[in-house]
Copies of this chain bind each other. A is one copy, B any other.
Amino acid sequence: MDKKVHTSTQYERELKQVKENLLYLGALAEKAIDCAMTAILKRDSAMAQKVIADDEAIDRLDEETEELCIKLLALRQPTAGDLRFITTAIKINGHLERIGDIAGKISEKALLLNIEPQLKPYIDLPRMAGISQSMIKKSLDALIREDVALASEVRHDDDQVDNLNEQIFRELLTFMIEDPRTIHRALLVMQVSKNMERISDHAKSIADMIIFMVTGRNVRHRHPEINGI
């Protein structure tokens, strides 16, 4: 009896550990986006280098969390609900790791942009970054609280990011056509904007999985996005 209680507690501790790892990964991913955006806005190449170097911590935590999930599947026989949580956690983990990678890619663009004179003041880019960061936070809050309404909000936020990306694209296209000397820089900014849009897509995927985990309803393929660039 004692043993059973002990095992159950340890199992719960391990499940809690998975949740905590995901929250910590989310915090690292948010921070990476924030620093990558600062590297662009303040033209801070040292900051960009730091984001690239710090991605290793995200990668390690991703590996560790996945191993923990697989260990839980192997050694405990999780109930249906816990099983669904653990398989969802494995996938969320992968999305957060990809967000870290993309923040690294934005930082590489910052390094290139910082060599050249600034093309224009950035207004929409930090807006995209802010929304994306809040999407990550909301989706992980939704995971912990199993809050479907909050996860649905994230889906809505993604539309805003898509619209900003399209707006930035059109604006930069005009710059390029009017003055070909801006082409290289405009392309880099377009790529940063597209990277941010992909981060937002990952956050949306996380939200979709939470909706599925909680309700069994698959919303992933209900609104095909044929407007991505």
Contacts and interface: CB of A to CB of B under 8 A. Distances in A.
Contacts of A80: 74
Interface string A195-229: 00000000000000000000000101100101111
Interface in A157-214: 173, 176-177, 180, 183-184, 187, 190-191
A30 interface: no
Contacts of A108: 226-228
A90 interface: yes
A26 interface: no
Contacts of A147: none
A127 interface: no
Interface of A: 52, 55-56, 59, 63, 69-70, 73-74, 77, 80, 83-84, 87, 90-91, 94, 104-105, 108, 173, 176-177, 180, 183-184, 187, 190-191, 218, 220-221, 224, 226-229
Given A52-B224, A70-B84, A108-B226, 17 more contacts: A56-B221, A59-B220, A63-B218, A63-B221, A69-B87, A70-B83, A73-B73, A74-B80, A77-B77, A87-B90, A91-B94, A94-B94, A104-B226, A108-B227, A108-B228, A176-B176, A187-B190
9 contacts: A56-B221, A73-B87, A90-B91, A91-B91, A104-B224, A108-B227, A173-B184, A176-B176, A180-B180
